[in-house]
Structure 1
Amino acid sequence: MLRGTIRSVTTPLGGAGVVGAIGATVIGVAVGWDEFAVGGTMLAVLVMSSAGFLVGRGDLVVTLALAESSTSVGRSVAAAVDVSRARRGAPARTVVEVPVGADLVELRVKPSGADAHRGTVEIPARRRGVVRVGPARTLRADPIGLFRRELVWTDVHELRVHPETVALPGMGTGLVRDLEGEASRDLTADDLSFHALRDYRAGDDRRHIHWKSTARTGSLTVRQFEETRRSRVAVVFSRATEDFADDEEFELVVSAVASIASCALREGRDVTVLTSPDGSPSHRGPRRRPRVVPTSGRVRMLDVLSEVGTGDDLIPLEQLAALVGSVAREVTTVFVVTGTIAGMRELRSWSSELPAGTQTIAVRCGPEERPGLHRTNALTVLTIGYLDDLRRSFARAVAE
């Protein structure tokens, strides 16, 4: 907490008063104009009297605390402002200002003794982003408005407003056999997860013959396995302004990205979120790689997604495709979340950049667009107009 950092401010009116008092007094004395000298003296007395209102009453203690450091769109957060007096004395009404984003909230409090007066500021979360709250400051000013003094008591707090998300159904299993994979319902003759025993059939691998059961039953018996699979998921979206019709389209894209990645994290899958790297499209350095959004935890991922925005100098989806293809060689499923600017031709071209066998699902986001699902070869295109459309169509989109 900042212990009452003082910002003394002379208002424009106060500056004019000081200059007028000095100027009138000097001119009156220099040329012998008593009227100017008296007027300058009276103005100087007025200025000095106004400055006296800034003296004293420095015995307050102000603290600011947010109930939460993050929230989601549409869910407000309360900030508590506690004002107390460090010394006993007659209570004085105090004005506390708390900047909230571009707005300014004023609280009129009257602390008494050592008991703190608590005021509450409701911080609305209307849009995704970062809202700066504070610093809390107390004000003192003269009645005329010549001077004002600000005492800054707290640091700036940041409230991250996460994108809106919806709970999605499971993604199903992936395509890669793995010791750490999940057992599917598909049965196979050779895998890692034992299922049952069955009679030997021509062509079965003799290494999987269960000799104890064979000796007991008198007929060859082999082991049967459940196919284990593991998904490695990549979620890709562009931040280039040219890829989106408007800001609302981009907001729907970020919400879809957050929902898909949250679903993958909830199921314990390996998930990577990739987006346009910083820098202009003309920059083609040897270490050019997509920007990776941290996915070590859902809250950490949503914190970063709350800050992302579009830019005119960022690489578009067309160029992002080649970069993703170079780092996503082990993924089994890639979600390309984009606006409505990209057409089927561009999406098919992008999917061809990925390794063969990769399941590619393009999610086209356009506010109020008619939902739809189309499949062409290895590409599935899901169109959504609202975030709820993603929840209703997601299971069909990921089904192979």
Structure 2
Amino acid sequence: MREALRGLTVRGRAFVAAGATAVLCAVVLGQPALTRVGVLVAVLPLLAALVVGRGRYRLTLERTVTPATVTVGESARVDLVLTNAGRTPTGVMLMEDQVPHALGSRPRFLLEGIGHGWRRHVTYPLRPGVRGRYAVGPMDVRVGDPFGLVEIGRSFRSAATLTVVPPVVPLPPVPLGGATSGSGEDRPRPSASGSAEDVTVRDYRRGDDLRRVHWRSSARTGELMVRREEQPWQPRASVVVDNRLRAHRGQGAASSLEVAVAAAASVVAHLTRRGYTVRLVSADGPLGPDAPASSPGRDRGADPTAALEALAVLVPTQRPRLDESWLTDTTRGGIVVAVLAGTEITDAPALRRLRHHAGTALALPVDLAPWGDAPTRTTPTRALLATQGWRWAELTPSEPLARTWARLGRPGGALADRPLAGATAPGPGPGAGR
């Protein structure tokens, strides 16, 4: 009842004030008929509050977001199924679903005459313009009486999740290299002298099942040897996206970070479709559970959804330097594609080590000129990549990503397309420009 009294609308409070005023005037003027009118006007909001406050509503809500994962610019649909399982009819209901501003305006519905067994299906669209993971809901409900004197707020606890991933641009197939490095135990290897059994065994590793121990080879070598597991061999690739706050310019959807994330998403999808085992890495380290977008042994055309969802929630970091702890002997070789922004001279060791571990090192630096940086501000990035032997092609607003990627795959890299003023050309080596 207290909640219902607190829910008196402006009209309900005006009724109470008008009724009290009428009763006071009737006492002063000696008008008994006016007293009855004043009592009726003042009591009507209180009776409405009593009825609304003691009502037992059993409203249920089922919410479905289709699809649960969309790309920036695509539309999603929210289906709401409202049911009144109680026996008490309700008055006017105003329903508002809690939707983040990035997904559009909050939908509102006005419902009347909800009786026992009532059921309604409502649909509204979502048009996300910014990547991220958003909670759709909960639903706020305001129940009122037919006269509009009382409104009581209720809220459903259920909510749904919508993941908005970066846009993916189809990239043309270009010669990337790195096919001599991969994962799996049936990769090509030189044959040792001896029987054919020597080729199908390997050294024992901690955690191997003892039932796989090959005792004849173990007796001959003096060390435990186990049978190799035949696993499909796949080339490896690592996609590094620089999400350091100090390296990017702009805010929100119109920032250089969004350009870098969109480019990384397209590269991950492209390499995964080409059969590479892709590892996604940010400035803080690997993304995802173990961070590869696809695991060894998966077929070509693997789904890069996990990597795209990790990119959807990627936020800027305060880390001053790129993380290198994920570089181990198991990551040596293969392709490294780095999507960079404003690198500095302090990033030279990280770029050097990335290049050292990669069979082919490719870079897509973001041109920061559209965000007000002078052209000389981006020169260190080009110079660092050139001196470390990277092949690179700059991401600019005037050139589509597919064309930039095609330029990156040319023999000799993109260094030949844009000579550097004052930069020392690297010596001959894998991926070095002229």
> Quick one: distance in 2 between partners of 1:97 and 1:114?
22
Q: CA deviation at 1:124?
A: 0.9
Structure with the largest fraction of helix:
2
Distance change in 2, residues 1:355/1:130 (3 Å): closer
Aligned to 1:335: 337
- Does 2:281 align with 1:274? yes
- 2:93–2:141: 8 Å Cα contact kept in structure 1? yes
Question: Partners of 1:327 and 1:97 in 2: how far apart?
Answer: 55
Match of 2:365 in 1: 364
**Is 1:162 equivalent to 2:165 in the alignment?**
yes
Q: Percent identity?
A: 19
Specify the code of the residue in structure 1 equivalent to 2:80: V
2:199 match: none
Kept in 1, the 8 Å contact 2:333–2:357? The answer is no
- CA distance in 2: counterparts of 1:326 and 1:320, whole angstroms: 15
CA separation of 1:366 and 1:140: change in aligned 2, threshold 3 A: farther
Pick closer, same or farther for the CA change 1:250–1:91 going to 2, 3 Å.
same
* Secondary structure of the structure 2 residue equivalent to 1:320: coil
Is residue 308 of structure 1 aligned with residue 310 of structure 2?
no
Change (3 A) 1:364 1:13: same
Matched residue, 1:241: 245
Decide whether the 8 Å contact of 2:178 with 2:333 is kept in 1: no
- Letter of the 2:6 partner, please give it: T
Structure 1 position 255, deviation (Å):
0.8
Corresponding position of 1:232: 236
TM-score by length of 2: 0.60
1:398 deviates by 3.8
TM-superposed CA distance for 1:11, in Å, is 4.9
Counterparts of residues 1-400 of structure 1 (less than 5 Å): 10-11=6-7, 45=43, 47-52=45-50, 54=52, 55-56=54-55, 58=57, 60-86=59-85, 94-102=93-101, 103-109=105-111, 114=117, 116-141=119-144, 147-153=150-156, 155-170=158-173, 172-176=176-180, 231-247=235-251, 248-277=255-284, 290-293=285-288, 294=291, 295-296=293-294, 297-311=303-317, 314-316=318-320, 319-325=321-327, 329-339=331-341, 341-342=342-343, 349-354=349-354, 356=356, 358=358, 359-366=360-367, 378-386=389-397, 389-399=400-410
Q: Give, in whole Å, the separation in 1 of the partners of 2:387 and 2:155.
A: 61
CA displacement at 1:325 relative to structure 2: 4.4
More strand by share: 1
Deviation at 1:177, TM superposition (A): 5.2
Aligned equivalents of 1:10, 1:177: Cα separation in 2: 71
SS of residue in 1 equivalent to 2:167: coil
Size of the aligned set, in residue pairs, is 326
Q: What CA RMSD, in Å, does the superposition of the two structures yield over aligned residues?
A: 4.6
CA distance in structure 1 between the aligned counterparts of 2:307 and 2:135, rounded to whole angstroms: 20
**Deviation (angstroms), 1:153:** 3.9
Q: 1:375 and 1:142 mapped to 2: Cα distance?
A: 74
- What stretches of structure 2 of length at least 5 have no aligned partner? 195-232, 295-302, 376-381, 411-430
- Greater relative contact order (Cα < 8 A, sep 6+): 1
| Compared CA separation, residues 9 and 392, structure 1 to 2 (3 A) | farther
Bigger mean CA deviation after superposition, 167-176 or 330-339: 167-176
How big is the shift at 1:332?
2.2
Rounded to whole Å, the distance in 1 between the matches of 2:327 and 2:183 is: 26
Give me the whole-angstrom Cα distance separating, in 2, the residues matched to 1:360 and 1:300: 24
2:393 maps to amino acid: L
Shift of 1:76: 1.0
Q: Secondary structure at the match of 1:383?
A: coil
